[in-house]
Amino acid sequence: MESQIAPSWPPERLDVRAFARASAQLQGEAPLADWERLVEESQAGLQPPAVRWSAQGETRAQTGGPDQVWLHLQVSAALPQVCQRCLSPALIPVEVDSSFRFVPDEATAMALDDEAQEDLLVLSRDFNLLELVEDELILAMPLVPLHDTCPAPLPMSAADPQFETATEQRPHPFAALAGWKVPKSS
């Protein structure tokens, strides 16, 4: 009797069609230092937890054509950024929950892109899932990172007491003109 060995699914060279047909799942975890482009987008100063990801393959029957190949991706990370409110380091949580439909070639992707609500990717036998994870995290990063609550209270006043005092002590520039006024004759 011949034993069947389950295929291994290397995330750096994933055969997407076979992965989807098997309804396979992958998951992983890696420190932020392993994600070169994410490191470039992040700020030093805080020790972030690892990037966690999981992927699920699926095929969907399509009338009058071959089955559609789908990949569902979930990613979570806390990325070190600078809070734009208080300008101190902050670990900003970033979550991704996306589904991708794979099409045979780039021309098909371009033709269907305008009408498709889902993200379209080109089918590959050596698809780099880890690059997709990194791309999706970069796209999900907030444009303006902020703490939920900043660690120190922020000054909410734009007034400067020293400026106000200096302004009060200085005579009005046109005060001397008041003495030049000619009284009106009645």
pTM (two decimals): 0.75
Could you list the pLDDT tens digit for every one of the 186 residues in the chain?
A: 443 444 688 999 999 999 999 999 999 999 988 988 988 887 766 777 789 999 999 999 988 888 999 999 999 999 999 999 888 888 899 999 999 999 998 888 888 888 888 899 999 889 999 999 999 999 999 999 998 888 888 776 666 666 666 656 677 777 777 777 777 766
Given 3-state DSSP classes, what are the helix, strand and coil percentages for the chain, each rounded to the nearest 5? 25, 30, 45
Q: Which of 45, 50, 34, 136 is nearest to 82 (CA)?
A: 45
Element (H, E) at 103: strand 89-103
